[in-house]
Chains A and B, each alone.
Chain A
Amino acid sequence: MNDLIIPHNIKTTYQPKVHFSSKTGECLIEGESYMENPKLFYEPLTKWLNDYLETNPTSLHLIFKIYYFNTSSSRQLMNIIELLRSFQNKSVDIKIDWYYDPDDLDMKEEVEDFIMETGMDINMKIR
């Protein structure tokens, strides 16, 4: 299975960079997310994660370093977290870390809301 890599692009600062490694199971989404059509951007990510989890890996570590996302991106992020939750009890060790700025309580509350909505454990870490 190939890695999924979307590099940082100065012309598209509204979409985060992505590095999903099939070798280590470490998956990073980093940057800001306020594209016009988040579904177009996030669907390949969700598909990759689903395909990877279907290979019965021992673990998956998703790291969010998203410092801003708009409300329409939040729907797609929810989809990703819910997908991971659906694999949680299938002997895959799933870990999610979310980094946020200490002065950004709005972001902290967003992550708390994701935890409440999905029932998934997310480790909140100060950037």
Chain B
Amino acid sequence: MLTDNKEYKLFESLDLFGKDTLFSYKGIMNNYVLTVFLNNINPVISSFNNPVLYKKIKKVFIELTHNILYYSEDRNKIRDEQFTGSGFVHFRNNHDHIIFTSCNKVKKKEGEKLIGYCKRIKNLDYNDLRNYKRMKRNLIQKTTSNGAGIGLIKIALISSKKIDADLIPYDKNFAYYIITVKFDKNKFFKADE
């Protein structure tokens, strides 16, 4: 459901209704919804006959949707005292690439930090990124959060850093945080590619 003009402009920029769109979804994120997504994309990504790419796509997709589930500022009550994040995911399959976009509302200041964080991740080489992941996981072990706080690093590692983050203002306090991950369908035919 398109709820306001700003969201509409955002969706329009993604060519939401273009022929490359395999599916898009806006709403609450939970594992029930995730299972429906996976069942829908499985036949498509299986048809590439590339098991390495298949695994990578699935992993990134789960991390992106869980990122919304844990961290979106749009929260919906689903059971007695349980809340889940809501947001938007878009999955495109064009000639050469698979492209995921996820979008959720964040506090503006938090969003600006996340953009800087993404830039930092992209500037690290592979081994430094692995070290950074271990260091961050070690720090978060001491907190009570459900997430591990290393999803973006993991996505960067899996996708060979084909990740971009953007922020679109919503109002004076909030913004849309958008993550795009791109996979070249002609790569990853070997595990170490």
Contacts and interface: CB of A to CB of B under 8 A. Distances in A.
Interface of A: 13-14, 34-39, 68, 70-72, 74-75, 78-79, 101-106, 109, 113, 116-117
Interface string B136-170: 01101100001111110010011000000000000
A31 to B, nearest CB: 14
B31 A71 contact: no
Interface of B: 30-31, 34-35, 51-52, 55-56, 58-59, 62-63, 66, 69-70, 84, 130, 133-134, 137-138, 140-141, 146-151, 154, 157-158, 191-192
Nearest to B56: A106
Contacts of A79: 141
Q: Top 10 closest A-B pairs, CB basis?
A: A71-B148, A103-B191, A105-B191, A72-B148, A71-B150, A75-B148, A71-B151, A34-B62, A103-B52, A14-B31
B35 A14 contact: yes
A71 B134 contact: no
**Chain A CB within 10 Å, residue with most, of B55, B150, B154:** B55
B141 A75 contact: yes
Contacts of A104: 52, 55, 191
Contacts of A117: 134, 137-138
B62 A70 contact: yes
A71 B154 contact: yes
Contacts of B138: 117
A86 to B, nearest CB: 14
Given A71-B137, A109-B130, A113-B134, 13 more contacts: A14-B34, A68-B58, A70-B59, A71-B66, A72-B147, A74-B150, A75-B141, A75-B148, A78-B141, A104-B52, A104-B191, A106-B157, A113-B133
A37 B141 CA distance: 15
